[in-house]
Amino acid sequence: MSDPLVKITINGVAHHVPGHSVLIKTAEDLGTYIPRFCWHPRMAPVGMCRMCLVEIEGPRGVMLVPSCTTPIHDEMIVHTETDTVKKAQEGVLEFLLANHPLDCPVCDRGGECPLQDQTMAYGPGESRFVEEKRHYEKPIPISDLVMLDRERCILCARCTRFSDEISGDPLIEFMDRGNSTQVNTFTEEPFASYFSGNTVQLCPVGALTASPYRFRARPWDLRVIGSTCTVCSAGDSISVHASQNEVLRYLGVDNDATNHGWLSDKCRFGFEYLNSDDRLTTPLVRGADGEFAEASWSEALGLVAEKLTAIVTDHGPQAVAGLGGSRGTNEDAYAFSKFMRTVVGSGHIDSQMDDGLNPQLLAALSGKGLIGDLEHAKTILLWAADLKEEHPTLYLRVRRAAQELGAKLIIVHPRRTGLDDRATFKFGYKPGDGGRVLSELMAGQGEYAAARAALSEGPVVAIVGRTGLTESPVLAESVAAFARDLPNASVLPIVRRSNTYGALDMGLAPNLLPGRAGIGSPGCANLEATWGGLPTKAGYDAAAIATGIDEGSIKGVILLGADPVADMPNGLDLTAPDFVVAIDLFLTESSSQADVVFPALGFAEKEGTVTNLEGRVQKVNRVVPGPGQAREDWSILDDLAARMGKPMGFASAEAISKEIAHVAPAYESVTWDLVTWDHPDGAVVPVVAERSPLEYVPVVSSTSSTPSKSEFVLHSARTMYDNGVMCQQGPSIGKLAPGAAAYLNPDDAERLGVVDGDLVRVASTNGQGDLPVVIDSSLTDGVVYVPFNQPGGPRFGSDLDVSVVKL
C-alpha cells in the first residue's frame, strides 16, 4: 500500500509526493538540496547540527524548523532560500567553525570534507571568532583501527548513533555537556567494534580517522572504482580507492539490496593483504633439493601440463582432483570447472572445504530468498553461524529488522550470538542435539510453543546454515526443509566463503554443472555442445578427495585459491599425492606443499563477476595491476589447457562471461552489460525462474544429528578475525584474532576446578591443545567452545566428542 500523495510547495514550486517522509529527504528527492551534517538517511534524525534549518509557513506564521526532523504534510509551504534561512545556515556554519581547528592541510578529510564543502558553498568568508579555541589532546586512539580528534569534531552524533542504533555496540558516547561536550569511549573500554570503520566513513569532518589510511593519500590523488566486497558472501557494494597502483581503502556504497552502505572492519581494512610483501610474483617450481625456485611461466606451465597429462595417461583422469574456486570470480570458477571436466576429464572437484552445506541445497535455494525480504519479515528464524562473526553486514540487516522493524527473531545456536540482545526467542543447545531441538520446534512442544506459533506468522525469513563445524550439514538441510514450508518463507542458506554460490553455479561441486544444473539435468544442450559432451557421473567431494588421497587413488591435486590443509576441519595430507599444483596469492599451509605454484591476481586486480548468497550477480573491477607476473586464474588455466592439447579458447574474463551466459541455464543472458547497466545492484539469477533446472527439495532427516554420550562435546566456530591468510597478511586486522581458548560454562568450570585463565587440555581423536579457560555462561552444560583456526590454536577436525582435563 502506498502513501497518499500530499501537496508540498518548495520555493514556490508545487509537488505531489507520497506523504511519509521528512522534509530534508523529500526536498532532496525533488531536487532541492538542503545542507546538513547530522542527518543520515539510514539513521534516526537528531536535529543537532541545525544546518538544515528552513522556513515553513505555519498557523503561527513563518517558522524556522530543522528539515531533518520535520515530517512533510499536505499543503506544506517551504522556503529554503530566504534571507532568514541563509543567515541561519551561515550562522550555524560560523558556530561550527568557531572552535574547529581549520587544520585542513594536514587533515585526512581535506578535499572530501562536508564541512569544508559546505563552508565553501554556504559559509561566511571569514571568522569573527577571535577568542581562544577549544583544545583537546589530538588525536587519541579509541581502538586499534580508529583515531579520534575531538578538536575537529562537530558533534553530529553520526558515530554515536551508528554504534548504538545500527551496530548495537554503543562503545562511544557523548561525555560532558555544553561547550565541553565530546565524543569519547568509556573508561578502559576501547571502541572494539567489528563495525568501527563505518564511523570513520560517516564522520562529516576529520574527527574520526582510520589508522590504516591516515596520511596515506589525498582524495584527489585516488583512483576510485566501484566493486563488490568479497570478504563474506553478502555481496556488499564498495568503492575501491587506490593511489600509485596500491589499494589504500574501501568505502561502503549504499545498496538497498545488500549492505545499506555499511561494511565490517574485516571488509573495510581486509584489503591490506593485497599489498603484502609476501605476495607471489613469479611461478615457483620445487627443485630436486625440495626447495622452491623461481621459474618462468613457460617452464612452470610446461611442467604442470606434462605432469597432469602423465597422471591422466597412467592412472586415468579420475586420479586428478581439484579443490577451490570459491574465493575468485565466476569467470575463474567457470574456467576451473571447464578445465577439470573437459581438459582433465575428472569430476572430482569441490569448492567447499568439507565445511559447508550440500551444494544441491545451496544451488536450489539460491535466488529464492533475498536479503531485502528481511525488511518485510514478521518472523526471522536464525539457525546458522553467528552472523556477527561470519556475515557482518547481514547481521546488521537482521538487527535492523528485529530492532527497528519489529520482526520477531528466533535464534537457535549453541552459544551466545551477536543478535541475542534482539532475540525474541533464543534456544541454546548442545551440538549433536540439534535434531531433537528441530523436531520439538516443529512440533511446538514445551518451551518451543511460542516460537513455533511465531513461525506460523509469515512472511518468515529463515537464515539457515551450520552453527558450528562439529554440527552435521544434514541438520541445516533439515532446518531448511522445515523452513521452506513455513508461510510465505524465504530461506537464505549461509556458507562462509565469498563466492561459494558463484563457484557452485559454475559447477565447482562434484554433482553440479554450470548454471545450477545437476548431472543429468535437462536443458544443458548449449553446455553439451560447447564442452563437447557432459559428465554423466558425480565425482568426489572434498572429504572423498581427502580419502582418495589417503588411499592413493588421487595422484594429482589442483588447488585454486584454496588452503585445504588449514581450512578443512580434518585437514588434508598434501604430501601423499604425486603432484600438487597451486594457484594462489601466497605460500599458504597448502600451497607451500605444492610442486608448482602459480602467482595469481587478487581482488581489485582483475575483473569479473561474483554471486552472493541470494544468487545476486555483481561486478568486481580492476583498479591496480597486481604484483610481478601474477595472472588471472582463468588465464593460467587457459594456458595450461592449451599446453595439454585441449585449448579452452578464453580471451578475456568478459568473453568467459559470455560463454557462461550461453551455456549455463541459470545465467542465461547475464552478461556484464546487464549487470552494470540494467541492474546496477546486480542481477539475481536466474533472471527467469524457469531457467534453473535444478529443483532440489530438502527433506527433514530423522538422523540430522546424533546426540553424543561423551562428557564434553566440542563447539567449533569461526570468528571474524582468525589465522586465515588474508587476515594474517593484513597488519591492521591480523592482530585482532582473539586467540585460541576453551570456553566453558560456569558449572563445568567449577566441576573441573578451573577459573578464567587456567589451562585445560582439550583432546579429540584428531588433535589436542592446552588452552586457557574462558567462563561463558551462554554455553550449555557439557559443551566446550574452541574458536576455529586461531593463531597457535589446535585443530580438532569435525570431532564432536572431546575430553577436557584440568592441567
Partner 1 sequence: MAYPLVVTKRMMEHPTDSHTMERYEATGGYVAARQSIGQTREELVELVKASGLLGRGGAAFSAGLKWSFLAPARPAYLVVNGDESEPGTFKDRQLMERDPHQIVEGMIIAAKANEVHDSFVYIRGEYPKPARRLQQAVAEAYAKGYLGKGIFGTDYDLELTVHLGAGAYICGEETALLNSLEGRRGEPRLKPPYFPAAKGLYMKPTIVNNIETISNLPHIINQGSEWFAGLSDSADTGTFMMSISGHVNKPGNYELPHGLTWREVIYDVAGGIRNGNELKAWVPGGASAPWFVPELHLDKPVTKEACAADGSMLGSGAIIVMDHTTDMVGAAERLVAFFAEESCGQCTPCREGTTWLDMILQRVLNGAGRDADIDLLLDVADNISVGLGWPPKQTTICPLGPSAVSPVMSLVRHFRDEVEAHIASAPHAGGQGVSVSIRGIA
Distance CA 566, CA 549 (A): 16
Is 661 in contact with 668 (CB distance < 8 Å)? yes
> Least CB distance from residue 196 to partner 1, whole Å?
22
Angle at 268 between CA 263 and CA 269, to 5 degrees: 150
> Least CB distance from residue 40 to partner 1, whole Å?
15
50 binds partner 1 per the rule CB under 8 A: yes
Helix (H) or strand (E) holding 559: strand 556-560
Cell for 23? 522534509
> Mind giving me the DSSP string for 124-143?
-SS----SPPP---S-EESS
> Mind giving me the DSSP string for 566-621?
HHSTT---TTSSSEEEEEESS--TTGGG-SEEEEB--TTSS-EEEE-TT-EEEEE-
Distance CA 559, CA 579 (A): 11
Which one of 27-35, 48-56, 350-358, 397-405 is the stretch in contact with partner 1 (CB under 8 A)? 48-56
Buried b (16+ CB within 10 A) or exposed e, 315-338: bebbbbbbbbbbbbbbbbbbbbbb
> Least CB distance from residue 69 to partner 1, whole Å?
5
47 binds partner 1 per the rule CB under 8 A: yes
In Å, what is the CA distance from 211 to each residue of 108, 147, 183, 584, 718? Answer: 11, 6, 18, 28, 26
362 binds partner 1 per the rule CB under 8 A: no
> Least CB distance from residue 85 to partner 1, whole Å?
10
3-state secondary structure of 294: strand
725 binds partner 1 per the rule CB under 8 A: no
64 binds partner 1 per the rule CB under 8 A: yes
Tell me, residue by residue from 592 to 631, as one string, x for binding to partner 1 by CB under 8 A and - for no binding. Answer: ----------------------------------------
> Least CB distance from residue 51 to partner 1, whole Å?
8
- Cell 548513533 identifies what position? 161
53 binds partner 1 per the rule CB under 8 A: yes
Which one of 25-33, 89-97, 242-250, 409-417 is the stretch in contact with partner 1 (CB under 8 A)? 89-97
Distance CA 471, CA 412 (A): 13
Which ranges constitute the DSSP H helices of 277-352? 297-315, 330-338
95 binds partner 1 per the rule CB under 8 A: yes
With CA atoms as reference, report the closest residue to 484 among 366, 569, 580.
Answer: 366
Query: Which CB, 69 or 629, lies closer to partner 1?
Result: 69
181 binds partner 1 per the rule CB under 8 A: yes
> Least CB distance from residue 180 to partner 1, whole Å?
8
> Least CB distance from residue 81 to partner 1, whole Å?
16
370 Cβ contact partners less than 8 Å away, ≥ 6 residues apart: 257, 490, 614, 684
Query: Which CB, 87 or 806, lies closer to partner 1?
Result: 87
Query: Which CB, 71 or 533, lies closer to partner 1?
Result: 71
Among 17, 77, 98, 442, binds partner 1 (CB under 8 A): 98
Name which of residues 637 to 676 contact partner 1 (CB under 8 A). none
Name which of residues 151 to 180 contact partner 1 (CB under 8 A). 154-155, 174, 176-180
> Least CB distance from residue 156 to partner 1, whole Å?
9
> Least CB distance from residue 136 to partner 1, whole Å?
14
Helix (H) or strand (E) holding 364: helix 359-365
310 binds partner 1 per the rule CB under 8 A: no
> Least CB distance from residue 179 to partner 1, whole Å?
4
91 binds partner 1 per the rule CB under 8 A: yes
Is 313 in contact with 616 (CB distance < 8 Å)? no
92 binds partner 1 per the rule CB under 8 A: yes
Which one of 43-51, 387-395, 440-448, 529-537 is the stretch in contact with partner 1 (CB under 8 A)? 43-51
Tell me, residue by residue from 108 to 147, as one string, x for binding to partner 1 by CB under 8 A and - for no binding. Answer: --------------------xxxxx---------------
Helix (H) or strand (E) holding 550: helix 542-551
Q: Binding-site residue total for partner 1 (CB under 8 A)?
A: 36
Cell for 71? 515530517
| Interface residue list for partner 1 (CB under 8 A) | 45-51, 53, 63-64, 69, 71, 84, 87-88, 91-92, 94-96, 98-99, 128-132, 154-155, 174, 176-181
